[in-house]
């Protein structure tokens, strides 16, 4: 996707990673995404003394998305403290699919991927609406 500035998106993820609150794992994560209306949203992981309450970087990214005007995500990247690309965890793939524009591209450790490639046969709102 030539119109996506992946270097700028990664730089936004690195800037977010530097704001990480991760005193328990010491594993800082930053995520950034381009929105359908051209904004860049980002987030960092936020840990808690009650470990299970930890918010992944993707959680604060989705919060940023909604708090700054909503829309859908068209391109996504995530980095670790060494500024290397990191895969979103399984829970966060589920979180992302709900806010992904059709055709959203993720930068991954094995190249550019679609949401369907990283979360095949996703469970979505459509299942609820069809079977509810």
Which residue ranges make up the site for ligand THU (CB under 6 A)? 22, 25, 27, 29, 45, 47, 54, 56-58, 88-89, 92
Name which of 28, 29, 26, 21 is nearest 47 in CA terms.
Answer: 21
Shortest distance in whole angstroms from residue 86 CB to ligand THU: 6
Q: For the stretch 106-116, what's the b/e string if a residue is b when 16 or more beta carbons lie within 10 angstroms of its beta carbon?
A: bbbeeeebebe
CA atoms of 31 and 45, how far apart (whole Å): 9
As measured in angstroms, the least distance from the Cβ of 3 to ligand THU is 26
Largest CA distance in the chain: 45
Residue closer to ligand THU by CB (options 48, 69) is: 48
Catalytic residue (one of 58, 83, 126, 127):
58
Least separation in angstroms between CB 62 and ligand THU: 12
Token pair, residue 77, equals 């990247």
Distance CA 107, CA 110 (A): 8
Question: CB-wise, 40 or 88, nearer to ligand THU?
Answer: 88
Judge whether 58 counts as a catalytic residue.
yes
Which one, 89 or 122, has the nearer CB to ligand THU? 89
Q: Closer to ligand THU by CB, 25 or 84: give it.
A: 25
Closest distance between ligand THU and the C-beta of residue 129, in Å?
27
- The continuous run of DSSP H or E covering 64 comes out as helix 57-67
**Catalytic center residues:** 58
């Amino acid at each position: 996707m030539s119109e996506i500035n992946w270097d700028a998106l990664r730089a936004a993820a690195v800037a977010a990673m530097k704001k990480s609150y991760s005193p328990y794992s010491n594993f800082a994560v930053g995520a950034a995404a381009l929105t359908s209306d051209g904004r860049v949203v980002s987030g960092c992981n936020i840990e808690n003394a009650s470990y299970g309450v930890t918010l992944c970087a993707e959680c604060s990214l989705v919060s940023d998305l909604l708090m700054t005007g909503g829309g859908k995500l068209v391109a996504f990247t995530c980095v670790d403290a060494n500024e290397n690309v990191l895969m979103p965890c399984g829970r966060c793939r589920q979180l992302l699919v709900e806010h992904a524009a059709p055709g959203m591209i993720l930068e991954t450790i094995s190249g550019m991927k679609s949401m369907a490639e990283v979360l095949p046969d996703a469970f979505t709102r459509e299942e609820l609406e069809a079977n509810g």
